[in-house]
Amino acid sequence: MSHLPIDKSKDPVSIRLFKSNFLEFFTHISPVTILILWAPVTALLLYFAAQTATVGVILGAFVLGLFLWTLGEYTLHRFLFHYPARSEKAKKIFFLFHGVHHHQPQDKTRLVMPFPVSIPLALVFYGLFTLVLGALLQAPQWINPLTAGFMVGYLAYDLTHYATHHFTMRRGYAKYIKRYHMAHHYKDPDTRYGVSSPLWDWVFGTAGQD
């Protein structure tokens, strides 16, 4: 992945990505903002699910959505965010996409997914779930609760990511996942792609060496 050497300053000045102030504005985001948008969307999906699906279907689909997010998190991080770009143009694009985070991992306003990325991805996944569950499997009642579970998984990922960089996590799983993600940044960026869970790193052999 194309990125600059790590800026290890405690409070780095955000590197400017665009000359346009309008475009630059959308590269910065607070973790509170994602809750303001995606928590109501998730609640609406569950509300709509309750109109057409049984409690059992809602719970099953929701849990499946959570599980699918863990795979989505790993896949996006490993194969999209860390795509080995070759051309200079592609390197610049992937630096904007994720490389800047590896250059300035402590930048507080670039730790959760900005809306120009998260909204299109949400629409893509919702369309995929609609195609598979609605058209192919003829189970449209699963679409909304599964998407809700997927979104809760995404929120857990983004908020965990922010926490690993800026919260003191001294006990149990929180301590483990913070150390795990810091090793991704400061030891080997080509391992430990899971942020909220190391599950798929264990499955695919990318958990790295302690």
Token digits for 67?
């599980």
CA distances from 64 to 69, 89, 180 (A): 9, 38, 25
What's the gap between Cα 49 and its chain centre? Answer: 24
Cα–Cα distance between 201 and 208 in angstroms, integer?
8
| Residue of 157, 209, 166 whose CA lies nearest to 187 | 209
| Burial zone of 141 (CB within 10 Å; 0-12 exposed, 13-18 middle, 19+ buried) | middle
Compute the average pLDDT of residues 84-95.
Answer: 90
Structure tokens at 186: 């400061």
In a domain, 70, yes or no: yes
Residue 182 has pLDDT above 60, yes or no: yes
Mean pLDDT in residue range 60-73 = 97
Would you say residue 16 lies in a domain? no
Instruction: With respect to residue 197, please indicate whether it lies within any of the assigned structural domains.
Output: yes
Angle CA 199–150–97, to nearest 5? 80
d(CA 69, CA 153): 6
The verdict on residue 115 lying in a domain is no
Percent helix, strand, coil in the chain, to 5, is 70, 0, 30
pTM: 0.92
CB-CB contact of 146 with 53 (8 Å): no
Summarize pLDDT for 128-173 with one digit per residue, the tens: 999 999 999 999 999 999 999 999 999 999 999 999 999 999 999 9
Q: How many structural domains does the chain have?
A: 1
Residue 192 binned pLDDT confidence (cut-offs 50, 70, 90)? very high
Residue 9 maps to a domain: no
* pLDDT confidence band for 3 (50 / 70 / 90): low
- For residues 207 and 201, the answer to whether their CB atoms sit within 8 Å is yes
Residues spanned by the domain of 191: 62-101+141-204
Residue 4 has pLDDT above 90, yes or no: no
- Take residue 166 and report the two structure tokens written for it: 């800026």
The pLDDT tens digits of the residues spanning 37-56 come to: 999 999 999 999 999 999 99
In a domain, 110, yes or no: no
Task: Give CA–CA dist 176/78, Å, rounded.
Answer: 20
- The pLDDT of residue 2 is 55
In a domain, residue 187? The reply is: yes
Would 113 be classed as within a structural domain?
no
